[in-house]
A and B are shown apart, each in its own frame.
Chain A
């Protein structure tokens, strides 16, 4: 394990109570992720990959085990501290884009900066910069329903980038896109990685995982394998 790991997860478990049943979504999972890695977390549905992503993204906390994010023990943090980490350190990209429907692309991208407490001038400047970097400088005033699927996902990526986070966490980012658009989005992730970003993609598609440099395979709440991606396409 590297000492400069951004993410250091050791023996974490997460179980939920569903009715009378206890569901063990994660069991004894250990993962370390360093700076500027490009990782795919793979597995069929029910494998625990989404739960792991929620953990990594500080949306959820483990039932047991330890999680250090940039050296900070996440389990000791309050909800508001977790919100701050999500705001400043993590950029989320979701399968369903999760944009606010009534806000323009620009407003959507500005949103994390509002919660970061930046002034409106700075917010505007940085949102324009992020949208330009994903090639949407001409679509900034459009609302999500006026954009194509690929464009919406680009807005979501711009929103993830705008706070200059430590990691970009993408959950099935091409799941709602056609193949060609999906390829464009993956090229964009590749570009982000080349610029020095740490990229984590959660997917069940081998085609998508193939872009990553390292693949963590999950099954039944356990890490099945964790190693370099020998079949890397790019």
Chain B
């Protein structure tokens, strides 16, 4: 057992040794600085991604499910979905009418890449035909104006509610409401704009414009089109129940025989999680490789300088052993020194990362105007700092172990004789 006095002494020696060779210590620790820099930066990126993603999901609605011919997860299931029959308007409407558990259910008709124009300016965006209920979902939250009402819905009035991206493209000053927009050449009066909903790679959901199903029918027609049904469960706990009911009712409507697989998909926001996971994984892999490389280089540097330090202080080790220092005490003296070098590295790296994170955040937020970044804290999270210091201590202990062991096992007679 090491005594408290020995630990304090080792600490004192370590500090004075690092201070006595300040320039050497700083140079030695540079590998660790780089390693800690990457580890913390990677952590901030992933945390930032998570919080932006979480914000997106919660804005669009965690309790929303979409019954669709297509599976949002894509990939293999996409080809399978190709062979499915379209969901007709009648089927979508029947589902909405027969569902009992959800708060809201509405048919959705979607036209990808619809051409819309204001004056001579055009953009492609998705045109969505839906009911007035859509205005009550989180995805349809109004920023200015209002959503269309049941009357306008039934009459197929040429009114539209535009998404944030559309509003920003055509009316950057925020004065969209009351203006006219042309959808496939037909004039529509803008009665509302939707607040920003999408962040990161979900930005596309801001590039939508909403019209009533009646209006949609007269512009694009209902033939050769697969409808979706948007369902708002009410809260997350209801999701399972609502999903089960939707599956059961839809199977009846589509005459799916018992035992056969569904010929439609139930999509949730979670489907996009895999994309977030892939990005997160990518950052991890790059970060881990960079971090590991710099830590290995840093650790070798520290090990090297610790061997030098042990050799330089052979005589001192001999003196300490002669007057009663035990092996563990000498071991700890050098382990503390190498850890301290690494902690110093962390302490240099942390302010650097903080400056970089602050700058990147400022750039994204104010120059690129990525409002989503607001969800990311400008200050480094405490747990990341703890991890950074913890990792640096571990690297210090690993790098210092062999030199410290050599010192601890030194023969006192030989060490005293060393000049």
Query: Which residues of A come within 8 Å of B, CB atoms?
Result: 54, 57, 59-60, 79-80, 83-84, 86-88, 92, 94, 98-100, 102, 111-120, 123, 159, 163
Task: Say whether B324 faces chain A, with CB atoms less than 8 Å apart.
Answer: yes
The answer on a CB contact under 8 Å between A87 and B324 is yes
Determine chain B's interface SS by DSSP, over half rule. helix
Known: A59-B412, A59-B413, A98-B315. A111 touches B5 (CB 8 A): no
Chain B residue numbers with a CB within 8 Å of A94 are 416
Q: How many residues on chain B are close to A (CB under 8 Å)?
A: 26
**Alpha-carbon gap, A84 to B329, bound state (A):** 12
The answer on a CB contact under 8 Å between A86 and B323 is yes
**Alpha-carbon gap, A133 to B5, bound state (A):** 25
Chain A residue numbers with a CB within 8 Å of B16 are 102
The answer on a CB contact under 8 Å between B319 and A100 is yes
Within 8 A of A (CB), among B293-337: 315-316, 318-329
Chain A residue numbers with a CB within 8 Å of B9 are 111, 114-115
Chain B residue numbers with a CB within 8 Å of A54 are 413
The answer on a CB contact under 8 Å between A88 and B5 is no
Task: Say whether B4 faces chain A, with CB atoms less than 8 Å apart.
Answer: yes
Nearest chain B CB to A92 CB, angstrom units: 5
The answer on a CB contact under 8 Å between A118 and B5 is yes
Task: Say whether B261 faces chain A, with CB atoms less than 8 Å apart.
Answer: no
The answer on a CB contact under 8 Å between A92 and B323 is yes
The answer on a CB contact under 8 Å between B326 and A98 is no
**Alpha-carbon gap, A54 to B316, bound state (A):** 17
Task: Say whether B152 faces chain A, with CB atoms less than 8 Å apart.
Answer: no
Determine chain A's interface SS by DSSP, over half rule. helix
Interface centre among A84, A92, A115, A117 (most CB of B within 10 A): A115
The answer on a CB contact under 8 Å between A115 and B327 is no
Given known contacts A80-B328, A115-B329, what 20 new A-B pairs fall within 8 Å (CB)?
Answer: A59-B322, A80-B327, A86-B323, A92-B322, A98-B315, A98-B318, A98-B322, A98-B416, A111-B320, A111-B323, A114-B8, A114-B9, A115-B5, A115-B323, A115-B324, A116-B324, A117-B5, A120-B8, A159-B323, A163-B324
Nearest chain A CB to B351 CB, angstrom units: 30
Known: A54-B413, A94-B416. A115 touches B319 (CB 8 A): no
The answer on a CB contact under 8 Å between B20 and A98 is no
Chain A residue numbers with a CB within 8 Å of B325 are 83, 115
**Alpha-carbon gap, A111 to B325, bound state (A):** 9
Interchain residue pairs A-B with the least CB separation, the first 6? A87-B324, A117-B3, A115-B324, A112-B323, A80-B326, A83-B326
Task: Say whether B6 faces chain A, with CB atoms less than 8 Å apart.
Answer: yes
Chain B residue numbers with a CB within 8 Å of A120 are 5, 8
Nearest chain A CB to B261 CB, angstrom units: 72
Closest A residue to B325 by beta carbon equals: A115
Known: A54-B413, A59-B412. A86 touches B322 (CB 8 A): yes
**Alpha-carbon gap, A163 to B324, bound state (A):** 10
Nearest chain B CB to A166 CB, angstrom units: 14
Nearest chain A CB to B103 CB, angstrom units: 70
Within 8 A of A (CB), among B388-419: 411-413, 416
The answer on a CB contact under 8 Å between A114 and B413 is no
Q: List 19 A-B contacts (CB under 8 A).
A: A59-B322, A79-B326, A79-B327, A80-B328, A83-B325, A86-B323, A92-B323, A111-B9, A111-B323, A112-B323, A113-B5, A114-B5, A115-B6, A115-B324, A115-B325, A115-B329, A116-B5, A120-B5, A159-B323
